Chains A and B, each alone.
Chain A
Amino acid sequence: MYRIRLHGRGGQGIKTGSRILGSAFFGAGFEVQDAPVYGAERRGASMAAHVRAARSPIRERGVITRPDLVALADETLLQVPAANVLSGVGPDSVLLLHGNGDAETWRARLAFSGTVVVLPAAGEHAEAELGGARCAGAAARLAGVISRQQLMAAIAQELASLGPSATETTTAQALAAYDAVARHAGVLRESRPAAAVAFAAPEWIDLPLESARIAAPDIFAAATSVEMRTGLWRTMRPEIDYAHCNRCAWICSTLCPDSAIRVLADRSPEIDLEHCKGCMICVSVCPPHAIRALPERAARARELAAAP
């Protein structure tokens, strides 16, 4: 059986990628399960989807805890602990990384004992949004059991409702990825179905019976949401050019849906990068165009370079 976990951010087409991959396996004669993890599927938020494919009926259910392949559409998620990208990987696992850098550096950096395959991302915005489809195309090649035609048929089937132009761009991206990892074809191997006897029970935590005041899910503090670092969702970063900001009447601060722009005592706006989700509303509403949009990746690289 192939156990494949796709990770990425909402908006990158992770769910679509898992469906394409699932249908492609199905077209190649496999039994298939594919499902996204149901949750807050918000643009920019961490997302995962699961694909199982086997030559005989699949009896495993639920999330994949021991993946043969982890396909990661957005390398910045490796810095987000809650995304759990590498959970359950072992020396036989393959990590497909849609990003930059070379495989050996990633292996060393992540202390990853399995195989790393890098699918180069050109870093352009449009391409990033098709990360899910690109991962699906590459994963199909890594398994080595899916033909180009089967991949194309799966895309046509899954995207039928979105019209011909969506199908066309997705197919182009998925096929480019399929070709880009050609020399790793077959690196992903089928693993054995897990035997029930090998099941290790999770480490349950026994909670004592508490009074409702403690045990009920009541929140007694104000605005605890600030503990959630939604700034990690961002793919683009707003940056204020204070030389051009005319300290208007805090238009950006009022129109930021996330309360992520504060107005200081001297009437200057200040962006809270811990929480800014990168919607870029402030960029489009600032009357003198004093806020510009910067790819988050570039902004982080600049910060790293500036750090002592």
Chain B
Amino acid sequence: MNPALRRMKDLPSTHLLGAGSAMCAGCGGLLALHEIYDLLGARTVFVNAASCMTLLASYPFTPFRGSWLYTAMASAPAGAQGVRDALDILIGQGRLPPEEDLTAVALTGDGAATGIGLSATSGAIDRGLDFIYLCYDNEGYGNTGQQSSPATPLGARTATSGGAHGHAASKKDLFAIWVAHRPVYAATVVGADPLDLARKIDKARALTGPRLIHALAPCPPGWSFDPAEAVEIGRLAVKTGVWPLKEYVDGKVVHTHVPHPRLPVEEYLKRQGRFRHLFEPERDVQVLARIQSQVDAYWAEVCA
């Protein structure tokens, strides 16, 4: 661990990401990005697949101090490859001094990361592309009105999962998909735990090769909660064990925080309108039990 990142006091006190972006008030994705950008620094090129974050940079306004490039939803890793190759060629030909090199960061939502962009991602990891993939996970297609994505959790109501029991499938495990590719690094983070996030970004930054940063992004309109609660919801996701904080490095998965005592998942669920139907007008005992038992099973394996 970087000894310089021990306490909150060690985090940057000036912020690189410009104010005035068009993201919602209280956006958990923006929170993570603003913390991450401070550590990655301005020498980054963000390759952004169509998503909420597309609204960050809309001509002539950008919150970034470096480059940002827009790609189609499936193509951010391919865009990052192009940027990386161009930089390598320029440096190789002596047209760009090596100290002016940039880090290519694919920036996408969960819809692109776990769905339509997965094949491009898999290929990029196979090729050993030197890039960071930053997925902010608001568990749905946020930009188009929160339809279900493969990352939508069991029981959540979205624009396309109505019905009495909410979303019928369970969340696709992006971290495990990455780990199966044996990348250089993969980590889960949440903006509500800035210190854990900073240590992981610091680690990822120093490595070369394909790296995943998967950030849980509490989304006030999509999850229907008051924006003031965005940090608390992120903390509860960790404390209830719904969002494990972990990293994959040197071929091993390590949990950077094991919640103890672990709160019941209901503490997390009941704060969000997208799960309200599990509590009103009657408790949906079955779905609540299924959600809890999935989380219990996960931690039973971790702690075995």
Name A residues whose Cβ lies closer than 8 Å to a Cβ of B.
10-11, 40, 42-45, 161, 163-165, 217, 219, 222-230, 233-234, 248-251, 253-260, 262-263, 272, 274-275, 277-281, 283-285, 293
B23: which A residues are within 8 A, CB to CB?
42, 257-258
Contact of B162 among A42, A161, A281 (CB under 8 A): A161
A164: which B residues are within 8 A, CB to CB?
281
Given known A227-B61, A263-B13, contact A285–B231 (CB-CB < 8 A) = yes
A234: which B residues are within 8 A, CB to CB?
25
Q: Does B21 contact A (CB under 8 A)?
A: yes
Q: Return the chain A residue nearest B55 by Cβ.
A: A40
* Cβ proximity bits B1-44 to A, threshold 8 Å, 1 near / 0 not: 00000011101011111111111111110110011000000100
Contact check, B227 vs A259: say whether CB atoms are below 8 A apart: no
Contact of B31 among A163, A257, A263 (CB under 8 A): A257
The total number of A-B Cβ pairs within 8 Å is 154
Contact check, B34 vs A257: say whether CB atoms are below 8 A apart: yes
Contact check, B20 vs A229: say whether CB atoms are below 8 A apart: yes
Contact check, A43 vs B63: say whether CB atoms are below 8 A apart: no
Q: Does B292 contact A (CB under 8 A)?
A: no
Contact check, B59 vs A217: say whether CB atoms are below 8 A apart: yes
Contact check, A250 vs B11: say whether CB atoms are below 8 A apart: yes
Contact of A230 among B9, B19, B231 (CB under 8 A): B19
Contact check, B229 vs A251: say whether CB atoms are below 8 A apart: no
B260 to chain A, nearest CB (A): 22
Contact of B221 among A43, A163, A254, A274 (CB under 8 A): A43
Contact check, B228 vs A283: say whether CB atoms are below 8 A apart: yes
A43: which B residues are within 8 A, CB to CB?
24-26, 220-221, 227
Contact check, B57 vs A257: say whether CB atoms are below 8 A apart: no
Q: Cα distance A217–B35 when bound, in Å?
A: 27
Contact check, A223 vs B11: say whether CB atoms are below 8 A apart: no
* Cβ proximity bits B44-82 to A, threshold 8 Å, 1 near / 0 not: 000000000001110111111110100000000000000
Q: Does B191 contact A (CB under 8 A)?
A: yes
A262: which B residues are within 8 A, CB to CB?
14-15
Q: Does B267 contact A (CB under 8 A)?
A: no
A253: which B residues are within 8 A, CB to CB?
13, 15
Contact check, A230 vs B20: say whether CB atoms are below 8 A apart: yes
Q: Does B232 contact A (CB under 8 A)?
A: yes
Contact check, B280 vs A163: say whether CB atoms are below 8 A apart: yes
Contact check, A272 vs B25: say whether CB atoms are below 8 A apart: no
Contact check, A284 vs B194: say whether CB atoms are below 8 A apart: no
Q: Cα distance A269–B41 when bound, in Å?
A: 22
Q: Which 5 A-B pairs have the closest CB atoms?
A: A223-B18, A279-B26, A275-B19, A280-B228, A277-B25
B73 to chain A, nearest CB (A): 18
A17 to chain B, nearest CB (A): 17
- 28 intermolecular pairs with C-beta atoms under 8 Å apart: A11-B221, A42-B24, A161-B162, A165-B280, A222-B64, A222-B65, A223-B16, A223-B65, A224-B18, A224-B60, A224-B62, A225-B56, A249-B9, A251-B8, A253-B15, A256-B34, A257-B27, A259-B19, A260-B19, A262-B15, A263-B13, A263-B14, A279-B220, A279-B230, A280-B226, A281-B228, A284-B228, A284-B229
Contact check, B25 vs A259: say whether CB atoms are below 8 A apart: no
Contact check, B20 vs A279: say whether CB atoms are below 8 A apart: no
Q: Cα distance A80–B281 when bound, in Å?
A: 41
A249: which B residues are within 8 A, CB to CB?
7-9, 11
Q: Cα distance A45–B26 when bound, in Å?
A: 13
B27: which A residues are within 8 A, CB to CB?
257
Q: Cα distance A1–B26 when bound, in Å?
A: 40
Known: A257-B27, A258-B30, A259-B17. 7 other contacts (CB 8 A): A42-B22, A161-B162, A163-B276, A163-B280, A225-B20, A254-B8, A281-B228
Q: Cα distance A278–B25 when bound, in Å?
A: 7
Q: Return the chain B residue nearest A258 by Cβ.
A: B19
B66: which A residues are within 8 A, CB to CB?
222
Contact check, B19 vs A219: say whether CB atoms are below 8 A apart: no
Q: Cα distance A300–B229 when bound, in Å?
A: 25
Contact of B59 among A161, A219, A222, A279 (CB under 8 A): A219
